[in-house]
A = this chain, B = another copy of it.
Amino acid sequence: MLVTGLLLVYLAIRKQFEPLLLLPIGIGAIMTNIPLAGMGESGGVLYYIYAVGIKTGVFPLLIFMGVGAMTDFGPMLANPKTALLGAAAQFGIFITLMGALLLSEFVPGIQFTLLDAASIGIIGGADGPTAIFLSSQLSPHLLGAIAVAAYSYMALVPIIQPPIMRLLTTTEERAIHMQQMRHVGKAEKIIFPLSVFGLCIFLLPSAAPLIGFFMFGNLMRECGVVERLSKTAQNALINIVTILLGLGVGAQLSATTFLNVATIGILILGVIAFAIGTASGVIMAKLMNLVSKTKINPLIGSAGVSAVPMAARVSQKLGMEADPQNMLLMHAMGPNVAGVIGSAVAAGVLLTLKNFVV
């Protein structure tokens, strides 16, 4: 396990795989696995961090609040239909969930419960805080593997997504230019987080912690009257919590919970989740082009998985390959941020399992 931790540190530093999370996670994994040191056991410092911040769900929610304060929903508000791409990309989550159940049905040695399958599926949400929050609530024993898979595949988005995107689109489609975005007003940006939170309250209360903190962060950003809180939420607070969250998640990476066939299953399912999410985003865009007169470039569909802003950059890159004048980045940010909401909604659905199962 020390080697696993070191590998994560190496990937973080050398390959820049989401270093803000994977570096602390790697160090936490090393610390917790030092023989005789007991840093992750009851009375050890990592145990306290885990118990206070992760078991309670407080840390991922505070990070989600900070992410909300850093997110500009402008591109999505300018072209709201692209939010549907962020819905479609969540197919990755649910198909992976079924994949996990099939695996435990047919592969001996893998025994995922429905809760475990849900936690594994959320990897396809391509959103770290959501994945950590959900698995901390449903399957704490898989938390480490799921977090590592989620952040690793987010870092691998520039490798996982392009072949799928190329396979599903023609050069002409990839060259589609999208029209300049309209100006989005300040009032619209303030109303938006409140609307999303309102929808969540009436449709899906179980998603309220995730959506609520995410939208609270965004409201602090946009409302213009609490700039000092917004700045702190985006900086000192999210940084402090990131360090502690990383260490606490890493502390869950012990040999018994990580070095087993289930982890291999999770890693395989995780990449499938990303691939399906990517594909369904692209296909959704093509379907929308069948019915709508203003065409959208299907490359921005893949950004619906979230993995903000990496996936949007991939869309931009492939668009420029097809036509160097094609600027998709801002258009891809729409589905990109919608994907964050989409996976938080999916997580809300999965969180309801907690009450029914067990």
Q: What residues of B have a CB within 8 angstroms of the CB of A212 in the complex?
A: 27, 30-31, 34, 39
Restricting to A213-252, which residues have a CB under 8 Å from any CB of B? 213, 216, 219-220, 223-226, 228-229, 231-233, 235-237, 239-240, 242-243
Tell me if A223 and B23 are in contact (CB < 8 A).
Answer: yes
- Per-position contact with B for A195-223: 1 when CB-CB < 8 Å, else 0? 00100010001101100110010011001
In the bound complex, do residue B243 and residue A237 qualify as a contact, i.e. CB atoms below 8 Å apart?
Answer: yes
Does A163 interact with chain B (Cβ within 8 Å)? no
A235 cross-chain contacts in B, Cβ below 8 A? 228, 232, 236
Whole-angstrom distance between the Cβ of A121 and the nearest chain B Cβ: 22
Q: Cα distance A237–B235 when bound, in Å?
A: 11
By secondary structure, the A interface counts as: helix
| A113 at the B interface (CB under 8 A) | no
CB distance from A268 to the nearest CB of B (A): 28
Confirm or deny: A171 has a beta carbon within 8 angstroms of a beta carbon on chain B: no
**Segment of A11-19, A79-87, A140-148, A282-290 in the binding face:** A11-19
Residues of A235-275 contacting chain B, CB below 8 A: 235-237, 239-240, 242-243
B-contacting residues, A148-194, CB 8 Å? 190, 194
CB distance from A167 to the nearest CB of B (A): 32
Q: How far is the CB of A185 from chain B (nearest CB, A)?
A: 15
Question: Which residues of chain B come closer than 8 Å to A16, judged between CB atoms?
Answer: 225
Chain B residues in 8 Å Cβ range of A330:
none
Q: How far is the CA of A237 from the CA of B228 in the complex (A)?
A: 11
Stretch at the interface among A54-62, A92-100, A321-329: A54-62
* B residues in contact with A201, CB < 8 Å: 2, 30, 34, 37
Docked-complex contact A237 and B237, CB < 8 angstroms: no
Given contacts A229-B243, A236-B240, contact A208 B56 (CB under 8 A): no
Interchain nearest-CB distance for A43 vs B (Å): 8
Q: How far is it, in angstroms, between the C-alpha of A201 and the C-alpha of B49 when the chains are bound?
A: 21
Is A190's CB under 8 angstroms from B23's CB? no
What are 27 A-B residue pairs whose CB atoms fall within 8 Å in the complex? A9-B194, A12-B223, A12-B226, A13-B224, A20-B226, A23-B223, A23-B229, A27-B212, A30-B197, A34-B212, A39-B209, A44-B209, A45-B56, A45-B58, A65-B243, A228-B235, A228-B239, A229-B239, A229-B243, A232-B235, A232-B243, A233-B243, A235-B236, A236-B239, A236-B240, A237-B240, A237-B243
Add 7 more A-B contacts to A45-B213, A228-B239 (CB < 8 A).
A16-B225, A23-B223, A34-B208, A36-B205, A228-B235, A236-B236, A237-B239
* The 9 residue pairs across chains A and B that have the minimum distance between CB atoms: A232-B239, A236-B236, A19-B225, A37-B208, A37-B205, A36-B205, A13-B223, A34-B208, A27-B216
